[in-house]
Amino acid sequence: MRDPIGSERAAASEALSLEIEKANYFATAARENWISFVSFALFLIFWELICRFEIVGPYQLVPPSEVVTLFIDKFSNANPDGALLYQHAAASLGLALAGFLAAVVIGVPLGLFMGWYPAVNMTARPLFDAIRPIPPIAWIPIAILWLGIGTPAKAFIIFLAAFVPCVINSYTGIRLTNPVLIRVARIYGASNWETFVKIGIPSAIPMIFTGMKLSLNAAWTTLVAAELLAASMGLGYLIQLGRRLARPDIIIVGMLTIGFLGALMSWLLTRIEARFASSRRLT
Amino acid sequence: MILSKRGASLIAPAASIGVFILLWGIISLNVSAEFLPSPLAVVKEALRLLHANIGGTSLWGHIGWSLRRVLIAFFLAILLGLPLGLYMGWNRVCEKIVSPIFEVLRPIPPIAWIPIAILWLGVAEGSKIFICFVGAFVIMILNAYTGMRYVDPLLIDAAKSFGANRTQQFFNVAVPACMPSIFAGVQNALSMAWMCVLAAEMVGARQGVGFIIIQGMDLNKPAMILVGMVLIGIIGSLLAATLRQAEKLLCPWRRELV
């Protein structure tokens, strides 16, 4: 502290050495990428071989080459499940996104208000805490009883699944607002509402995005569960049908599509976050 | 002022729960019991189920079956996932070998494994434990791996300059440093396993808490479903609370963040 310039220099050199370490790490990482390729190729060959030599039966596992063939075939052949792969995917995506968006629109403001206004917190929190430990999947039977096995029941379940992380994270985000910023706003004469909108909400945005990512994940998982139990369309239905027909190729194509779409959606949300949160970051 | 605030913080939750139950009661008077049973009916149903025989097993028996599946899968996931995740974070070659396969399987929700698990292992115990295992295992690996990757390199360097060998650096410095991340993973893994057992039991089982609510749906008894849901919530919270206590004992330096 006696020598501010010196300590600054030390910090700068430390940052530099960290950069160098990172650069080194990635350089070696790129050089070692062949290990990954070899490992993945070996995995596929092993998988192909245990099927070809019938170490596992055709009703348990099919070789990857047949999975790829079926995947291509499912874009033009509606049998045996009555729809093309992208139609199943579109049905699932539509439902998941509808439930997710509804949860964001309702859950994020609720969390923010709970975090900012103690009165809202005291009223909404007990109910929320009572509902929170029940996994969204446990709502499926009652939702079917209330709303039938159609779209509304599924949308309701997905909404519930996505709602909880949205509320928790926006609540936490706004509670973690730097109190110094709030005091500064107050000193400059901002009203409580202005402070909430201009200081509280922007500083909660990173946490809100974390919540949205968790929500999306929960929505997608829960959708699969709902479609396993009651559906006539969608990726969950596709894999459930694959089980009934003892067709592992259908199941594997469905699982990989589910995984790929889930990963794609989180990736998109991360891109949106990077663009949106960086322009208005408060430190 | 402080007293009245404390009073409000006690009264408000009670009032909000009270209003909720009152509203529920009023609504249930105006719709059929097949749709929404009254709160009293749910309590009665809970008392009845305590001694009733649900599909050949008592209520406690169902809870026991579910817990058994969850705990077997949970401990298997820790046993296999923790060392693998830690070693992936420690050794770059191991990371490079495992990560491509792991990255393909990771985004698939454990519930999507249910159909193939049933094809592989039948509808018996094996498939249910397998699904819970998949859910918990992925979380354990991710947390152990991330924790290890974020260990402060300064700590490792310090250990190195004091002459610690590679094994000592790993066990005495790196592993303790990623304990918080491991514990977060353990907690998430357990709640994930609890959710997965529910899904697996709902798709096909004769015992377990998931069976209770599916049975309620099949018998068209919403009171039974609601009792099952509350039961599931309570057991889930108890499991989480147990782990939090364990964490306080095992890594006390994390207390302020809990």
pLDDT tens per residue across span B130-168 = 999 999 999 999 999 999 988 888 988 999 999 889 889
From A239, A240, A250, select the one nearest A58 (Cα to Cα). A250
Residue A254 lies in a domain: yes
CB contact set of A218 (below 8 Å; sequence gap of 6+)? A136, A161, A162, A164, A165
Over residues A98-111, the mean pLDDT reads 94
3-state secondary structure A161-189: HHHHHHHHHHHHHHHCCCHHHHHHHHHCC
Which residues does residue B54 pair with via DSSP β-bridges, in sequence order? B57
Determine contact, residues B231/B63, Cβ cutoff 8 Å. yes
Determine contact, residues B86/B78, Cβ cutoff 8 Å. no
CB pairs A-B closer than 8 Å:
158
Residue A75 CB neighbour total at 10 angstroms = 9
**Cα–Cα distance, A254 to A71 (Å, whole number):** 9
From A166, A204, A167, select the one nearest A182 (Cα to Cα). A204
Which residues on chain B are in Cβ contact (under 8 Å) with A141?
202, 213-214, 216-217, 225
**Same domain for A238 and A103:** yes
**Cα–Cα distance, A91 to A40 (Å, whole number):** 32
**Same domain for A218 and A143:** yes
| pLDDT score for B254 | 56
Residue A66 lies in a domain: no
Q: Is B112 on the interface with A (CB under 8 A)?
A: yes
In which domain, by residue range, is A240 found? Answer: 71-279
Single out the residue in A36, A59, A82 at which a domain terminates.
Answer: A59
Q: Is B242 on the interface with A (CB under 8 A)?
A: no
H-assigned helices in B150-178? 153-161, 166-168, 175-177
B232 with A260: Cβ contact below 8 A: no
**Same domain for A141 and A231:** yes
**Residue among A160, A239, A249, A270 with most chain B CBs within 10 A, to mutate:** A239
**Same domain for A205 and A121:** yes
pLDDT bin (cut points 50, 70, 90) of residue B74 is: very high
A220 with B114: Cβ contact below 8 A: no
**Same domain for A92 and A37:** no
Which residues does residue B57 pair with via DSSP β-bridges, in sequence order? B54
pLDDT bin (cut points 50, 70, 90) of residue B82 is: very high
Q: How far is CA B35 from CA A125, B163, B220, in A?
A: 27, 70, 9
pLDDT bin (cut points 50, 70, 90) of residue A72 is: confident
**Cα–Cα distance, A133 to B238 (Å, whole number):** 10
Q: Is B96 on the interface with A (CB under 8 A)?
A: yes
B198 with A240: Cβ contact below 8 A: no
Query: How many Å lie between the alpha carbon of A277 and the closest alpha carbon of chain B?
Result: 23
Which residues on chain A are in Cβ contact (under 8 Å) with B110?
221
B154: its two tokens: 């300064």
**Same domain for A22 and A131:** no
**Cα–Cα distance, B177 to B180 (Å, whole number):** 8
Residue ranges of E strands in B33-107: 53-54, 57-58
| pLDDT score for B195 | 92
Q: What is the mean pLDDT of chain B?
A: 87
CATH of the domain at A133: 1.10.3720.10
Q: How far is CA A138 from CA A22, A96, A134, B128, B210, in A?
A: 45, 17, 7, 16, 8
Over residues A8-20, the mean pLDDT reads 50
pLDDT bin (cut points 50, 70, 90) of residue A150 is: confident
Choose the most confident range, by mean pLDDT, from A7-11, A183-187, B119-123.
A183-187
Among the partner-chain residues A29, A240, A263, the one whose CB lies closest to the CB of B107 is A263
Half-sphere exposure of B53 (CA within 13 A, CB side): 2
Q: Least CA distance to B113: which residue of chain A?
A: A255
Query: What are the φ/ψ torsions at residue A7 (nearest 5 degrees)?
Result: -70, -35
3 state SS of A81: coil
- Lowest mean pLDDT: which of A22-31, A83-92, B37-46? A22-31
Is A43's pLDDT higher than 70?
yes
Query: How many Å lie between the alpha carbon of A161 and the closest alpha carbon of chain B?
Result: 12
B112 with A252: Cβ contact below 8 A: no
A220 with B108: Cβ contact below 8 A: no
Is A36's pLDDT higher than 60?
yes
Over residues A175-189, the mean pLDDT reads 90
- The structure's pTM equals 0.84
Over residues A45-68, the mean pLDDT reads 85
**Residue among B22, B27, B97, B106 with most chain A CBs within 10 A, to mutate:** B97
**Same domain for A177 and A82:** yes
**Residue among B96, B150, B151 with most chain A CBs within 10 A, to mutate:** B96
A130: its two tokens: 């009572």
Q: Which residue has the tokens 């599916």?
A: B214
**Cα–Cα distance, B149 to A60 (Å, whole number):** 37
Over residues B69-94, the mean pLDDT reads 93
B13 with A122: Cβ contact below 8 A: yes
3 state SS of A65: helix
Q: Is B200 on the interface with A (CB under 8 A)?
A: no
From B26, B6, B54, B24, select the one nearest B214 (Cα to Cα). B54
Sort A22 into a burial class: Cβ within 10 Å, 0-12 / 13-18 / 19+.
exposed
| pLDDT score for A29 | 61
**Same domain for A191 and A119:** yes
A137 with B112: Cβ contact below 8 A: no
Is A4's pLDDT higher than 90?
no
**Cα–Cα distance, B237 to B233 (Å, whole number):** 6
Is B188's pLDDT higher than 50?
yes
Residue A253 lies in a domain: yes
Determine contact, residues A209/A106, Cβ cutoff 8 Å. no
Q: Kindly report the length of chain B.
A: 258
CB contact set of A121 (below 8 Å; sequence gap of 6+)? A114, A115
Q: How many domains does chain A have?
A: 2
H-assigned helices in B169-221? 175-177, 179-203, 209-218
**Residue among A61, A122, A235 with most chain B CBs within 10 A, to mutate:** A122
Q: Is B213 on the interface with A (CB under 8 A)?
A: yes
Residue-wise DSSP of A87-108: HHHHHHHHHHHHHHHHHHHHHH
A225: its two tokens: 């569960």
pLDDT tens, position by position, B110-124: 999 999 998 888 888
Query: How many Å lie between the alpha carbon of B171 and the closest alpha carbon of chain A?
Result: 23
B225 with A141: Cβ contact below 8 A: yes
Domain boundaries along the sequence of chain B: 38-257
**Same domain for A37 and A128:** no
CB contact set of B121 (below 8 Å; sequence gap of 6+)? B127, B130
Provide, rounded to the nearest whole percent, the portion of chain A with pLDDT above 90: 29
Residue A64 lies in a domain: no
B116 with A259: Cβ contact below 8 A: no
The DSSP secondary-structure symbol of A282 reads -
| pLDDT score for A229 | 81
Query: What are the φ/ψ torsions at residue A47 (nearest 5 degrees)?
Result: -60, -50
Over residues A25-47, the mean pLDDT reads 79
pLDDT tens, position by position, B55-64: 888 889 999 9
Which residues on chain B are in Cβ contact (under 8 Å) with A235?
112
Is A21's pLDDT higher than 80?
no
CATH of domain B38-257: 1.10.3720.10
Query: How many Å lie between the alpha carbon of A184 and the closest alpha carbon of chain B?
Result: 26
